[in-house]
Amino acid sequence: MVIKIKTTFATVTPESAEEGELSDQGWLDEEGSEFEDIDEVVSFLKDEGAMEPSSSCPHIGVWYATEFQTEDIATGEQIQKSFHIDGASPEEEYEIYQRLFPDEIKSCKFRRQMTEWKWLGKWWY
């Protein structure tokens, strides 16, 4: 099965930050890059600097974001990229999350006081 990663962006300038707003946002790659296996997906996300999952517990639709990084020193514009998984099974999404953020998995398990994950519709419990 082919897994795609679609990429969005958000930018902030000093002016937009004063107003608490993004200066721009949208798609960098709406079609998505294709990957043949989870190893490739995890490697890509690590290489791109994906540091933050959108949720502290894995579920369908979690995306992974970089930290904001200075894009233009002269203007102070910063960019954050977010990577959205498309075409992965629930088990593949869970494995991607687990390989990127094993400590989050442990704390999520602890919070739920569970020893095993069970797939219940949209969420892992």
Could you count the other beta carbons within 10 Å of the beta carbon of residue 33?
14
Q: Is the pLDDT of residue 79 over 90?
A: yes
Cα–Cα distance for residue pair 49/68, rounded to 1 Å: 10
Range of the domain at 79: 3-124
Average pLDDT over residues 101-106: 81
Domains identified in the chain, total number: 1
Output 18-23 pairs: Cβ under 8 A, ≥24 positions apart: 23/77
Q: pLDDT (tens digit, 9 = 90+) per residue, 17-38?
A: 999 999 999 999 999 999 999 9
User: Is the pLDDT score of 75 beyond 80?
Assistant: yes
Please report the pLDDT score of residue 114 as a whole number.
43
Q: What's residue 56's pLDDT?
A: 85
Q: What pLDDT is stored for residue 111 in this prediction?
A: 53
Q: Residue 103: its pLDDT value, please?
A: 83
